[in-house]
Amino acid sequence: MKSKTLPLFVAPALAILLLTPTLSFAASKSDALFPMPENVRHILDQRCVMCHGEVFNGKAEIREDLNLSNEAAIKETLSEAGRLKEVIEKNEMPKKAKLSFRLRKDPKMKERLETIKAEYDKNAEKEVLMAWMKDIVATKTPDKKEKKEKSE
């Protein structure tokens, strides 16, 4: 009897023991982003929050369900830090950002978005963000062109 029941307890216990370091390692990867350095917080506020957290006419812009307005909101809405690193690395954000439909015709918003893109380049802010996420492994999402080439 003992010889049969023991493995039943041992197997899950071993699994937990083996998985715990992996889980804690994964958690620590995201946690490595916090607390946020002052210069990173400044960049997010100036370049990202416009589309990810700022309130316009009573409605918050939470594009792609990502709220970067404060640390608590980031922890709550950032599901994949690797994806965040990827879009910054590939210059998809903020350089390819588009205004949401409700703001798209507003000349002030257009101007603000263009300023964001220009200032981001001018101040080499990408490098600051990449340094902040140095411990994060960027995801690798094939873009349309790569996907097409692979399928051919």
DSSP annotation of 1: -
Instruction: Please return the burial class of 99, using the count of CB atoms within 10 Å of its CB with bins 0-12, 13-18 and 19+.
Output: middle
SS3 42: helix
Q: Compare residues 42 and 147 and give the one whose CB is closer to other proteins.
A: 147
Structure tokens at 54: 């700022």
Nearer to other proteins, 115 or 141 (CB): 141
| Stretch binding other proteins (CB under 8 A), from 1-9, 42-50, 88-96, 137-145 | 137-145
Question: Judged by CB under 8 A, does residue 82 bind other proteins?
Answer: yes
Query: 83-97 b/e with 16+ CB inside 10 Å = b?
Result: bbbbbbbeeebbeeb
59 binds other proteins (CB under 8 A): yes
CA-CA distance, 74 to 68, in Å (whole number)?
Answer: 5
**Binds other proteins by CB under 8 A, chosen from 45, 77, 90, 95:** 77
**Of 2, 105, 122, 134, which one interacts with other proteins (CB under 8 A)?**
105
Instruction: Return residues touching other proteins (CB under 8 A).
Output: 23, 26-27, 29-30, 56-57, 59, 62-65, 76-83, 98-107, 109, 139, 141-144, 147
